[in-house]
Amino acid sequence: MNYSGCQHPPPRPDAPPLRVHDLVVAHEGARQPALHGISLTVEKPERVALIGPNGAGKSTFLKAVVHLLKPRSGKIDLFGHSPGTCHHRVAYLPQRGELDWDFPVHLRRMVLSGRYVRHGWFKRPSEKDQQAVERVLALLCLEDLADRQIGELSGGQQQRAMLARALVQEAEMLLLDEPFNAVDDHTRKLLIKVLETLRQEEKTVIIATHEPELEGLPFDRIFPFLEGRLVSQTAPHRPTSSCAHE
Amino acid sequence: MSEALEIISLTAVRRAYLAILLVGIPCAVMGCFVVLRRMAFIGDALAHTVLPGIVIAFLKGFHLFFGALVAGIITSFGIGWLSRRKEVREDTAIGILFTAMFALGILLMGQTGSFRDFEGILFGNILYLDRLTLQAMAVLGGLSLVLLASVFKEMELVSYDPSYAQTIGIKTEKLRYLLLLLLAFTVVGAIQAVGVILTSALLITPAATAALLTKKLPQMILLASLFALLGGWAGLTFSVFTNFPSGAAIVLACTLLFGLAYLYRSVFRQ
């Protein structure tokens, strides 16, 4: 039984992975919205960046897309459906501080939780799931750390662990919140390699980052956020793209 | 051999050992989640808040167990409901309901004219358990374990990464209510063994002991269960042979195991 309680619907034909229209989001208890009327569309298989300083609304935007925050108004469509119906198609990498790293769970099991969405309630992960986990651990050079408690990993390793969980989900769209934040050189290079692999696999990737230089990583489009608003849109590699509503 | 052992029948002693098994394991398993989710206060609170249910059952002539169960369920859902939004934090909700329900219990106890009738429930009466209580302990403990096992992977994930769990569609709020309900079942069972005042120790101490020795949840659950049985049976044996109050003996035996684990960790793991 799926966590949403219903069958996962197939993507609607011609629907983009993400379409957001006039989105307004406020944090719980806050009067002022954190996002004001955001409209944008991300096509398959684009790689886009949400850039802006801390507090600009990038993370809030990603949280609204994955249904962690309820919009005050506006509409979000994922593959032509409302966000609550296609959890398995979207993988989310939160910021590192949002997880209890002291919890007694080891890396392999944490990564395995990325497969839960494919099974839902009462079903245990299969041998195939375990194999998928091992593949991703190897891809991110984490095999030797698989039996470590997650709190015993370094910052960069923890970042890779969360990315491993997002990858093992085999989602069609990945939302990565500050994946390059405070990581070592090795992890940074691995992340870039993984992003290139995802591009070859035609996955849609949205990255929130406050790093202006973007580490030389090519993006199809860049959405600059400032004070909860989408300022403008730049398209470094495809200037003629006109996917955004704004 | 003490006078006490001569007075207490062998059946009662056997029942007491069985009761430790029936409440010790569910307490230890649930206790792991309580300790890891930093909800230690809730065990104490749930144990105290069942008091009005017990007194009402006494006044109406029902079995005290069912009064405790109803009050426990009401409290667990009350805590969940009151803290469902961020205006009232969970520990604040527990603090409010804990004191209010306990005060109501004391008020109702005043109506009975005798506090002595409730001595067993306040301090535990493991050597005087009837068959029905033992059966109820088995049903509640078994039900708690089966329900927890059926959602184990989700409960584990929600406990360390609730945001991610939510993004894959797990209703974290519903799991929190379920955990509170299972805790109510467990606590009500444990009250019969060690009493209202000492129940939280049975929930927290074995789990906290296990947490000192392992960094894997399945091992922690196994170790906590082992410590609960060891502490429970050791305390009970001591109580039977010395006439020492059984609830206190069990809790002190569990605390001794915690002390030894703490010492072991301090000496060998640093």
Burial of A74 (0-12, 13-18, 19+ CB in 10 A): middle
What is residue A241's predicted lDDT score, i.e. its pLDDT? 37
What is the total count of domains within chain B? 1
Contacts 24+ apart (CB under 8 A), A184-190: A184/A154, A184/A155, A184/A156, A186/A141, A186/A156, A187/A156, A187/A157, A187/A159, A187/A160, A188/A215, A190/A140, A190/A141, A190/A160
Q: Where are the domains of chain A?
A: 18-230
In 3D, which of B38, B93, B36, B12 has the Cα closest to residue B210? B36
Q: Over range B136-155, report the average pLDDT.
A: 94
Name B80's Cβ contacts closer than 8 Å, sequence gap at least 6: B173, B176, B177, B180
Report the CATH number at residue B34: 1.10.3470.10
Contact A67 B166 (CB under 8 A): yes
B84-91: list long-range contacts, CB under 8 Å, 24+ apart.
B84/B173, B85/A28, B86/A28, B86/A29, B87/A29, B90/B39, B91/B41
Name the DSSP letter for residue A125. Answer: P
- With tokens 């299972």, the residue in question is B182
pLDDT for the residue numbered A236: 57
The arithmetic mean of pLDDT across residues B130-139, rounded, is 88
Give the pLDDT score at A149. Answer: 95
Does B124 have pLDDT greater than 90? no
Higher pLDDT, A151 or B191: A151
User: How far B215 CA sits from the closest chain A CA (Å)?
Assistant: 4
Distances (CA, A) of A34 to A77, A178, A218, B257: 20, 18, 28, 51
Which residues on chain A are in Cβ contact (under 8 Å) with B164?
92, 94, 99, 113, 165
- Which residues touch A168 (CB under 8 Å, ≥6 apart)? A111, A112, A114, A115, A132, A133, A136
| Count of all residues that appear for chain B in the document | 270
Judged by CB atoms closer than 8 Å, whether chains meet at A106 and B87 is answered as: no
Nearest to A105 among B160, B166, B168 (CB): B160
Provide the pLDDT confidence category of residue B8 given band limits of 50, 70 and 90.
low
What is the CATH code for A18-230?
3.40.50.300
Q: Which of A91-95, A220-224, B37-41, B147-151 has the highest mean pLDDT?
A: B147-151
Q: In whole angstroms, how far apart are CA B97 and each of A39, A101, B44, B48?
A: 45, 31, 12, 10
Higher pLDDT, A86 or B184: B184
Q: How far is B196 from chain A (nearest CA, A)?
A: 29
pLDDT tens-digit series, residues B77-121: 888 788 776 677 777 888 888 888 888 888 888 877 766 667 777
Q: Which of A2, A89, A111, A117 to mutate to test the interface with B (most CBs of B within 10 A)?
A: A117
A221-226 and A47-51 beta bridge pairing? parallel
A132: which 2 tokens? 């998928």
pLDDT at residue A245 in the model = 34
Closest in A4, A100, A122 to B150, CB measured: A122
Residues B63-69, mean pLDDT to the nearest whole number: 82
Strand duo A229-230 + A47-51: pairing: unpaired
- Do B163 and A98 lie within an 8 Å CB cutoff? yes
Using a CB–CB cutoff of 8 Å, tell me whether B153 touches chain A: yes
Instruction: Give bridge partners of residue B90 from the DSSP assignment.
Output: none
Residue A215 is predicted with a pLDDT of: 57
Q: How far is CA B164 from CA A1, A73, A141, B154, in A?
A: 19, 23, 23, 11
Q: How many helices (H) and strands (E) does chain B have?
A: 14, 0
**Structure token digits, residue B140:** 């509640």
Average per-residue pLDDT in chain B?
86
For strand A229-230 and strand A221-226, is the pairing parallel, antiparallel, or unpaired? antiparallel
Interface confidence, given as ipTM, is: 0.86
Among chain B residues, the shortest Cα distance to A108 is held by B216
pLDDT at A166: 94
Range of the domain at B243: 3-268
CA distance A185 to chain B (A): 26
Helix ranges, A88-243 (H): 107-112, 116-119, 127-139, 155-168, 185-200
More confident residue, B263 or B199: B263
Mean pLDDT, 10 residues at a time, chain A of 246 residues: 73 86 88 90 90 90 92 91 82 87 95 92 91 94 94 91 94 91 82 89 91 69 90 56 34
